[in-house]
Structure 1
């Protein structure tokens, strides 16, 4: 069956996204990018489960919609931070310049 290799790719994506999220300490862009990798890994796992079980494929579309909304909101926060502070470093938020 092809279910287990695809699910394994999703688990690897979630693990890579988690490691990148924990290791990012300075750049907000890196944090948001690792969150997108995490979301993509979860989407792959949901997609493989839906295809294997034969459920409705609208579940994947709904999850993908929420992932796109999360990406758009995080991009708007990133642009707002860069316009107000001048960089995307997390240290600028801690100092209270935002």
Structure 2
């Protein structure tokens, strides 16, 4: 049983590092950045579930974390829609800091 937990732990860490890699390298569009952040949150949720299942704790903390991740995703999508409506695209180069 210990072999499976180490295997799942290494997969979750690999997922997290893949999300960090995609966040650093593919930041041309806002949608790519948001998707890589969601991927990192999914891998950290998996790590949290693995840790909570190993100590036999309640699942309420995991559900609370999942609720916060869903709220963060909804906020990110609403910001994406607002930016596309105001600027016409989601390129980071087209955003002007001096513009309101």
Tell me how large the CA RMSD over aligned residues is. 1.4
State the Cα distance separating 1:55 from its structure 2 match.
0.8
Unaligned runs of 5+ in 2: none
Q: TM-score under structure 2 normalisation?
A: 0.91
Confirm or deny: 8 A CA contact 1:27 1:90 kept in the other structure: yes
Q: Structure 1 stretches (4+) deviating beyond 3 angstroms?
A: 94-98
In the other structure, the counterpart of 1:92 is 94
Q: SS at the partner of 1:93?
A: coil
Map of 1:1-98 to 2, 5 A cutoff?
1=1, 2-94=4-96, 96=98
- Pairs aligned (count): 98
Unaligned runs of 5+ in 1: none
State the Cα distance separating 1:24 from its structure 2 match.
2.0
Q: TM-score under structure 1 normalisation?
A: 0.92
